[in-house]
Amino acid sequence: MITLAIAGKPNCGKSTFFRAATLAQAEIANYPFTTIDANHGVAYARTTCPCREMRVPCENCLDGVRFVPIGLIDVAGLVPEAHKGRGLGNQFLDNLRQADAILQIVDASGGTDAEGNPVGIGSRDPEKDIEFLQYEFSMWMYGILSRNWAKLQRQAQARDFSLAAAIADTFAGLGVTLEQIRDATDEAGIDLRTAGEEDLIRFCRELMAISKPMLIVGNKADLAPQECLDRLAKHDVIFASAAGELALRMAAEGKFIRYLPGDQSFTPNPEANLSAAQQAGLAKVAEFMRRFDGTGIQRALDAAVFDLLDRIVVFPVEDEHKLTDSKGRVLPDAFLMKRGSTPRDLAYQVHTDIGEGFLYAIDAKTGMRVKDTLELKNGDIIKIVSVRK
Ligand SMILES: Nc1nc2c(ncn2[C@@H]2O[C@H](COP(=O)(O)OP(=O)(O)O)[C@@H](O)[C@H]2O)c(=O)[nH]1
Ligand SMILES: [Mg+2]
């Protein structure tokens, strides 16, 4: 499963984001484990279910909106000098290992200092928070590299092993590949054999960006003065209100409103009895959604999955006419695949055996047999024909 980590300094709203994103209405949360442990949960990427276009009855979506499970990790707050072991330090950074991408939360309201202590709204420049996490993370990588540097060089000489391969081994736990090491070397414009401290720091910075793509979320945008919004808008930032999203999801769960995560507005339930305070709270969220086209939480999750990680959604079926599995369930699965994946890749993702026995695939939308080198498209419905079942 694709996993995203929520990272940032204390008090920027990570846990609120996590709670909001993992609180799913029963109809959405068809995934058996919504909470893995306190900090690991299941969130969803939102996509269009092909059932409407294909005119089949479907029980796995809500009004044609399909939610595909992804993993979410609420990482402990990061403080300055974490790479030297301050705060939760290494534990924090180790946590990021498991993530395919990082949602970097910043306090867009400028209401917390570098350590996360509350200060007056607008008194902290939120742009500084962006740089801070990237610095700590890349310096942590540099720390690992510099501690191992002498050993790596010996290894490279003794075993006729390239230095790049030795570095890839060192960072294998982070999911770093040899190709990424080469790309980072090129980007940093350095020669590993003669690299000095500054070169290696630059190299780590590139390696971090390549191996752990990051998306910046400007949270608490509901409190943010215009100046803070303007500063952040210079970067690629998704503005959000995690507190607003949490309020909506709780209200939807209680049937006070009708709202699907990612909708740009919500509809109050005329039969619900809301107190004046609840009404005022929801009115504030509604105003925020008009300004920012929604609360931003689902947009951030979707941007990380579909843009940053470049995934598409593919629907495997066993019956290409009814679009069902062997038990008659319509469009039972939705897989997040890397763009460029082929039917054979899909077969392997369904099951290794099916992949090994792969014969050919049928595109259920056209009814045609497709080449195993075909590049799958977002929303494809595919039947795999395999010698194994
Ligand atoms: N106004 C506003 N407050 C928020 C928002 N998100 C979080 N908060 C508040 O910010 C404080 C810190 O949030 P929390 O999620 O615990 O931050 P964490 O330390 O990063 O996990 C809490 O009082 C939250 O209610 C938001 O989008 N808007
Ligand atoms: Mg927290």
The pLDDT of residue 31: 58
Please name the residue whose Cα sits nearest to atom 25 of ligand 1. Answer: 243
What integer pLDDT is reported at residue 175 of this predicted model? 83
pLDDT of residue 373: 87
C-alpha 376/C-alpha 379 separation (Å) is: 9
Confidence of residue 193 (pLDDT cuts 50, 70, 90): confident
212-to-45, 98, 208 alpha-carbon distances in Å:
19, 10, 6
Closest ligand relative to 112 C-alpha: 1
* Residue with token string 């409190």: 223
Residues of the chain with CATH 3.40.50.300: 3-132+214-304
Closest ligand 1 atom, residue 219 Cα: 27
Pick from 65-69, 151-155, 184-188: least confident: 151-155
State in words which class domain 311-386 has.
alpha beta
The ligand minimizing its distance to the Cα of 248 is 1
Q: Which residue has the tokens 């086209």?
A: 293
pLDDT per residue as tens digits for the range 292-316? 999 999 999 999 999 999 999 999 9
pLDDT in tens, 7-53: 999 999 999 999 999 998 776 666 555 555 668 999 999 999 999 99
* Phi then psi dihedrals of residue 195, to 5 deg: -65, 135
Give the pLDDT confidence of 50-92 residue by residue, as tens digits.
999 999 999 999 999 999 999 999 988 888 888 887 766 566 6
Q: Is 218 in the pocket of ligand 1 (CB under 6 A)?
A: no
Give start-end residues of each CATH 3.10.20.30 domain in the chain.
311-386
Give the residue-averaged pLDDT of 375-383: 98
CATH level 3 topology of 3-132+214-304: Rossmann fold (3.40.50)
pLDDT for 388 beyond 80: no
Q: Is the pLDDT of residue 196 over 60?
A: yes
Q: Ligand 2 centre and the CA of 77: distance in Å?
A: 7
Ion ligand 2 neighbours (CB, 5 A) are 14-15
Q: What percent of the chain has pLDDT over 70?
A: 94
Please choose from 6, 9, 11 the residue to mutate so as to test ligand 1's pocket, defined by most ligand atoms within 8 A of CB: 11
